[in-house]
């Protein structure tokens, strides 16, 4: 019998799938338990001195540091900005925690810092506090970045994942799987000659335009670690509904589909860094899609499924050939350190 | 001639001394430049929707993870709480970013999580958002923790380091060097048989009591990385004053002094995690010391020096034998990964 003291952290604990959920449920959340944390949303909402704030944190351990379409600096800004935007909040300020490995080229650090500054300008946020630590060669991995973000809640907007209701439609703002496959294509031993480019981008302006057109959006969620599958699992579980996806409606670039097929990966479980899932009433679908498609980051927005009552807490996929299969929460082994 | 592209990050860039200052000045701060960041205080102050907030971030890469008097979890809570307290703010909420190394014992993670929860309760703050990442064995160092903190500013309180004025007195809330020496005593090859214990503790209640007694305190700063020397250098530079310390007044435990002597370290440059430097008008000294000494964490509070006009931007030490020497900003090589 295994001694519980011998249990150790596995790579799959970080994949955003079932093992991550178990780790959080059994080890991370219980000691910290409080009503705000229990919401388990992309950002926490608090009231300080009458101001409604959204607060979030994310660490970035992506490998390699530079990839087609971005780098760890750009993703550290966009990921945190997007977590605030998904809350319906207006992102305002970021903090920046750098853990640098001894031996990192200063020229690489400079590229990353420029990239952080550029992405922050694009998103209209300021880095207002920071911290820099150095660890010995071999004790780190080039650069790890933590960004925490603070935004101001828009009054009357509530995009919590528990708000999905039967009859709602599920939209996505563009193609899926681009980020994960672009990063993977750069990994050692997998030097595909592709034109795959990460979608990493700040989504706050797109969300702002959407919420102006449809303030009653029910749910916003960015399908990062664990992909669309993990994000919609969170929705189905929190709202106790069934999310039904149409395989033929999923926007996947041919190249992403090809590489996924080659590696036995499901594009639904691959991370995105510049896409949002939007769940709204069916009556709002046309207005929402029109608003999204008019924005440079939403040109490929489309409907990919709908919300039903049963079976509750499940994600189903109507397949190309007319069947229906359960979309399982990925275990978490597929794509380590993709964001 | 060295090719600038070949310059790399060194351990001393993380020590909190001169190399850290240079790294920030030349590589980290310029791309991000904005008026709030330029203050370079322990926390940033912003107004969101009429609420005056203090915001801070810190990453913890301490080695070993467990040490006499605490662990990386306790220090991650206390360090960030203290950064907010030094700003005169009331700490309210923390975010928690964990980077776990594959192979970490779950039982060690559990100890650290319990320690985070205990320290948060002691400090009266809640962890409201978190993120957990996993990196491969050999790409991390057991656990790295980032905590960002949000607090509410007390109206009328301003404890910025630039507020030190000639004629002020410099107080410390207790003995110096305990944390750094306790951690160092646990390092491989340095297994001193000592009773050294880290001072790691949340200082917000002590600060609250002090500010009630003396709301006009000029400066609060916790002497962590780089110790009292680095903290007072920051003060002297920001306020363009001279800080003069009395060597005979410095409270240093005999055991800390002994181990420092053995290793050729200056207690002034060793990190503390449960002490604050307090600078106030000479007329407020007695009231400040009385308030501090009445608190369990301030029993050894005492005056260690004063602020003069000249030579501006310098820290001087009146030595035991009556001379005066310049306290230099440590280069940063002395004590890597002490917090």
In this complex, how many residue pairs, one in chain A and one in chain B, have their CB atoms less than 8 Å apart?
287
- Which residues in chain B (170-199) have CB-CB distances under 8 A to chain A? none
Whole-angstrom CA distances from B127 to A28, A38, A241, B91, B218 are 11, 11, 29, 11, 30
pLDDT value of position B339: 82
| B262 Cβ contact partners less than 8 Å away, ≥ 6 residues apart | none
- Asked if A148 lies within 8 A of B46 by C-beta distance, the reply is no
- Sheet harboring B51-60: ordered strands across? B44-48, B51-60, B143-153, B89-101, B126-135
- Asked if B50 lies within 8 A of A48 by C-beta distance, the reply is no
- Asked if B14 lies within 8 A of A132 by C-beta distance, the reply is yes
Average pLDDT on B151-166 reads 95
Residue B190 C-alpha, separation from nearest chain A C-alpha, in angstroms: 18
Residue of chain A whose Cα is closest to the Cα of B24: A132
Q: What is the DSSP letter of B317?
A: E
pLDDT value of position B195: 81
pLDDT value of position B190: 65
- Asked if A37 lies within 8 A of B128 by C-beta distance, the reply is yes
Cβ-contact A173, A278 below 8 angstroms: yes
Tokens of B56: 């801070």
Torsion of CA A297, A302, A303, A304, to 10 degrees: -80
| A24 Cβ contact partners less than 8 Å away, ≥ 6 residues apart | B132
**Residue pLDDT, tens place only, A266-302:** 999 999 999 999 999 999 999 999 999 999 999 999 9
Of B55, B61, B103, the CB nearest to A95: B55
Whole-angstrom CA distances from B229 to A15, B177, B267, B328 are 43, 11, 9, 7
| Regions of chain A with pLDDT less than 70 | 1-6, 188-194, 333-334
Of B27, B44, B138, the CB nearest to A113: B27
Place of tokens 């899932």: A277
| B200 Cβ contact partners less than 8 Å away, ≥ 6 residues apart | B69, B70, B74, B75, B78, B79, B179, B273, B274
| A130 Cβ contact partners less than 8 Å away, ≥ 6 residues apart | A95, A96, A97, A98, B28, B32, B37, B57
Higher pLDDT, B43 or A305: A305
**B100 touching chain A per CB within 8 A:** yes
Q: What is the DSSP letter of B105?
A: B
- Asked if A32 lies within 8 A of B141 by C-beta distance, the reply is no
> pTM, whole model, 2 decimals?
0.94
**Residue pLDDT, tens place only, A202-211:** 999 999 999 9
Residue A187 C-alpha, separation from nearest chain B C-alpha, in angstroms: 14
- Helix/strand/coil for A268: helix
- Asked if B49 lies within 8 A of A52 by C-beta distance, the reply is yes
**Residue pLDDT, tens place only, B285-309:** 999 999 999 999 999 999 999 999 9
Percent of chain B with pLDDT over 90: 82
**Cα(B306)–Cα(A281) distance, integer angstroms:** 67
3-state SS string for A178-232: HHHHHHHCCCCCCCCCCCCCCCCCCCHHHHHHHHHHCCCCCEEECCCCCHHHHHH
- Asked if B337 lies within 8 A of A135 by C-beta distance, the reply is yes
**B266 touching chain A per CB within 8 A:** no
Residue of chain A whose Cα is closest to the Cα of B98: A59
């Amino acid at each position: 019998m295994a001694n519980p003291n011998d249990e150790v952290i596995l790579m799959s604990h970080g994949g955003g799938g079932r093992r991550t959920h178990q780790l959080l449920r059994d080890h991370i959340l219980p000691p910290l338990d409080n009503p705000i944390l229990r919401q388990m949303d992309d950002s926490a909402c608090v009231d300080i001195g009458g101001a409604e704030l959204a607060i979030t944190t994310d660490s970035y351990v992506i490998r390699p540091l530079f990839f087609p379409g971005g780098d760890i600096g750009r993703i550290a800004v966009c990921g945190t900005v997007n977590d605030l935007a998904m809350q319906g909040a207006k992102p305002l300020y970021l903090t920046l925690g750098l853990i640098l490995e001894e031996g990192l080229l200063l020229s690489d650090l400079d590229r990353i810092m420029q990239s952080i500054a550029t992405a922050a300008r694009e998103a209209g946020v300021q880095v207002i506090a920071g911290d820099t630590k150095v660890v010995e060669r071999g004790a780190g991995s080039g650069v790890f970045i933590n960004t925490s973000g603070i935004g101001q809640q828009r009054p009357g907007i509530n995009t919590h994942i528990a708000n999905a209701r039967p009859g709602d439609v599920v939209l996505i703002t563009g193609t899926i799987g681009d980020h994960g496959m672009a990063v993977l294509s750069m990994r050692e031993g997998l030097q595909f000659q592709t034109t795959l480019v990460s979608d990493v981008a700040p989504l706050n302006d797109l969300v702002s335009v959407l919420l102006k057109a449809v303030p009653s959006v029910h749910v916003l969620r960015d399908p990062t670690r664990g992909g669309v599958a993990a994000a919609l699992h969170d929705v189905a579980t929190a709202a106790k509904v069934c999310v039904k996806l149409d395989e033929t409606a999923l926007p996947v670039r041919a190249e992403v589909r090809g590489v996924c097929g080659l590696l036995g990966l499901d594009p639904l479980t691959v991370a995105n860094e510049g896409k949002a899932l939007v769940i709204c009433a069916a009556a709002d679908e046309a207005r929402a899609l029109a608003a999204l498609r008019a924005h440079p980051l939403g040109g490929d927005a489309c409907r990919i499924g709908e919300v039903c009552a049963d079976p509750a807490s499940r994600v189903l996929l109507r397949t190309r050939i007319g069947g229906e299969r359960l979309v399982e929460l990925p275990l978490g082994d597929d794509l380590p350190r993709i964001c």
